[in-house]
Structure 1
Amino acid sequence: MTPAVVICDDSNLARKQMARVLPDHWQAGIHFAAHGAEALEILKSKAIDLLFLDLNMPVLDGYQVLAALQEQAANVKVIVVSGDVQPEAYERVMQMGAADFIKKPVDADKIRSLLDTVAVDHKTSPKQESVIQRVALSDLEVNAELRDVFQEITNVAMGQAGDLLARLLNVFVKLPIPNVNLIEVSELHMALASVEDESTTSAVCQGFIGGGVSGEALLILTDSSFKDIARLMNYHGKLTHQVELELLMDIANILIGSVLKGVAGQLDMTFSQGHPVVLGQHAAVSELIKANSGRWRKTLAIEISYGIENYNISCDLLLLFTEDSLKTLKHKVEFLLEE
């Protein structure tokens, strides 16, 4: 009997990667859902044996799906597959009834081993042929398919950075869905939608380069965040201009370094990082961008907006890849999809 499986993830790439590592004879029983609400609708209409569930999704996220399944006492085994690898994320989903937790990017051997613990037959070998089509785009085009790939790569790297921050500060980091856009410098402020217009901010920029790819990482922290950051880092003195600068640099080093490492690792690259540069302190976002507009022209911008649960801390991390980097990035992605 073919098991009925739902793969729920807002990334088309992630859904196809998961389907590819499942046994060949399972393929006819696989259903796809782009968010939690779609998954719940499928579960209402069909008898499903196994649900592979992402955590960070629009409409309904993985936590909300698990809560709904608990309330309904649904008879389906749930395996969480997520880039959010914080210890508390693992503990939360297991307490909410998940059968197991797998980190992204998925490990085919781990999946096959895990299937031994669920009550389904999987004796035939996994499907070897890729179900993912090659990305064929001009060098200056970023369509929905390529945007999805970059979003999923960022999602994994973002989770690694969040895990590091969570362990260092003993907190739960709220991870967003990354935004990916090819934009003109005049539109750069639109990528900072999560920063309130009336907020003043401080920002650090750090260049990176490696293997034909270069860009800058821009971390923007709202000034209202400094008080809670100081408390988390056990600093109880007066928040002077210099102290805030040191706190800003500490957060930037953690998030920029770990995100770039995560992205480079998935693309089989290594990035060298330049010295961080303070763009400004206590200024409006628009002023920071205007004052530094010469640094960026057209750019592939990836935005990550971090928050920390129960703390008034908000920061945006932007990875700004140069226009010349797009060709190399697309070749790397095509190679990744062929594996």
Structure 2
Amino acid sequence: MNVLICDDSAFARKQLARALPADWPIKLHQAGNGQEGLEQILSGHGDLVFLDLTMPIMDGYEVLKALQEQGIRSRVIVVSGDIQPAAYETVMSLGALAFIQKPCSADKLLGLLLELGVYQSGGGIPEQASPLGMTLELRDVYQELANVAMGQAADLLARLLGQFVILPIPNVNVLEVSELHMALSAAAGEDTLSAVCQGFIGAGIAGEALVLFHDSSFADLAKLMRHQGPIDKAVELELLMDMSNVLIGAFLRGFGTQLDTPFHQGQPVVLGQHSAIDDLIRTNATRWRRTLAIEINYRIRDHRVQCDLLLLFTEESIRFMNHKIEHLL
């Protein structure tokens, strides 16, 4: 059997490959995005496909649609950090065989393969059709950790609002303070923002989480939250705090679980309301130095609701997290 793992994260591909049964007589292939994956499937390398959803160039939904339109009978198991009910319903309607949440343990994966009737013991070791790649870069690992945590936060937000949350590919970089200012400006665009900052700390890890909420989003968010009456600054502040609590809390829980490090959160602080990004940066410039920055842009489908979540880890935390990641690898 030709088995294809299609995921833009080399770390995620390695995790999944190691979770496959060691005695399963398969030929293992890999793809780094949906377009590569579709090409591999068309080449006959996808009898069974493990498919991520959030990928560049061509995402998992587009791959499933292409397979359905072309009548290709590959069996597809979606493996994703996006665990929203709407995501599950969509992929199943597009012909997916099953949907499992990242990260997936070897025991859970074996149980699923047995349930689906696609696994038969062969007493051998899976053959690698292509190498897992060069040494994994830490940036890729952080991106995959963020991808899983992002999906958990989106699931909670989707359930709260009864809507589908559009997820991006997390942007991960180690930035100097001047570069961070540029990243914040790029995230904001021309919009004015309301912003909340919340500190967090775990064993050897510390940082701040920022939620930058686009002011043009308040009207639609108020409707989704079933607010009645005028929308003044007090109402906007309440909505901003609700969004921040959901996104920051859920993300840190998901991120910390993967690193086996629970985080404790401080009191949220309002950095500004209806402010230009330059004003927010000028007011808080002394708070940030060189940092590991994880940036995620959340949008609600069919609504003008958009906010940016930024996780800023201290330089000292990076070394500690790198040590944690060595054990994951």
User: 1:15 and 2:7 equivalent?
Assistant: no
Give 1:184's aligned residue. 176
Q: Is the 8 A contact 1:207 1:215 kept in 2?
A: yes
User: 1:215 and 2:207 equivalent?
Assistant: yes
Q: Is the 8 A contact 1:54 1:82 kept in 2?
A: yes
Give 2:60's aligned residue. 62
Q: Is the 8 A contact 1:154 1:178 kept in 2?
A: yes
Moved over 2 A (4+): 23-28, 117-122, 124-128, 131-135, 189-197
User: 1:267 and 2:293 equivalent?
Assistant: no
Residue 317 of structure 2 is aligned with which of 325, 333, 336? 325
Residue ranges of structure 1 left out of the alignment (5+ in a row):
136-143
**Structure 1 residue 75 displacement after superposition:** 1.5
Deviates more, 1:106-115 or 1:64-73: 106-115
Deviates more, 1:112-121 or 1:70-79: 112-121
Q: TM-score, normalised by structure 1?
A: 0.91
Tell me, what secondary structure is at the counterpart of 1:116?
helix
Q: RMSD value over aligned CA atoms?
A: 2.0
Q: 1:146 & 1:192 partners in 2: Cα distance?
A: 23
Specify whether residues 116 and 148 from structure 1 end up closer, same or farther in structure 2 by C-alpha distance, changes over 3 A only.
Answer: same
Give 2:240's aligned residue. 248
Q: 2:113 & 2:257 partners in 1: Cα distance?
A: 27
User: 1:277 and 2:249 equivalent?
Assistant: no
The residue type equivalent to 1:275 in the other structure is: Q
User: 1:334 and 2:315 equivalent?
Assistant: no
**Structure 1 residue 222 displacement after superposition:** 0.5
Deviation string 1:225-250 (CA, Å, 9 cap, x unpaired) is: 00011001111211111111111011
Residue 32 of structure 1 is aligned with which of 15, 30, 33? 30
Identity of aligned residues (%): 58
The residue type equivalent to 1:252 in the other structure is: S
Q: 1:301 & 1:82 partners in 2: Cα distance?
A: 22
Deviation string 1:49-69 (CA, Å, 9 cap, x unpaired) is: 100000000000000000000
Specify whether residues 190 and 34 from structure 1 end up closer, same or farther in structure 2 by C-alpha distance, changes over 3 A only.
Answer: farther
Give 2:74's aligned residue. 76
Residue ranges of structure 2 left out of the alignment (5+ in a row):
none
Give 2:165's aligned residue. 173
Q: Is the 8 A contact 1:83 1:160 kept in 2?
A: yes
Q: 2:183 & 2:217 partners in 1: Cα distance?
A: 20
Q: 2:236 & 2:134 partners in 1: Cα distance?
A: 46
Residue 115 of structure 1 is aligned with which of 77, 88, 113? 113
Give 1:236's aligned residue. 228
When the two structures are aligned, how many residues end up with a matched partner?
Answer: 325
Specify whether residues 192 and 208 from structure 1 end up closer, same or farther in structure 2 by C-alpha distance, changes over 3 A only.
Answer: same
**Structure 1 residue 192 displacement after superposition:** 3.5
User: 1:287 and 2:285 equivalent?
Assistant: no
**Structure 1 residue 117 displacement after superposition:** 3.6
Q: Is the 8 A contact 2:198 2:209 kept in 1?
A: yes
Tell me, what secondary structure is at the counterpart of 1:234?
coil
**Structure 1 residue 177 displacement after superposition:** 0.5
Deviates more, 1:144-153 or 1:213-222: 144-153
Specify whether residues 126 and 290 from structure 1 end up closer, same or farther in structure 2 by C-alpha distance, changes over 3 A only.
Answer: farther
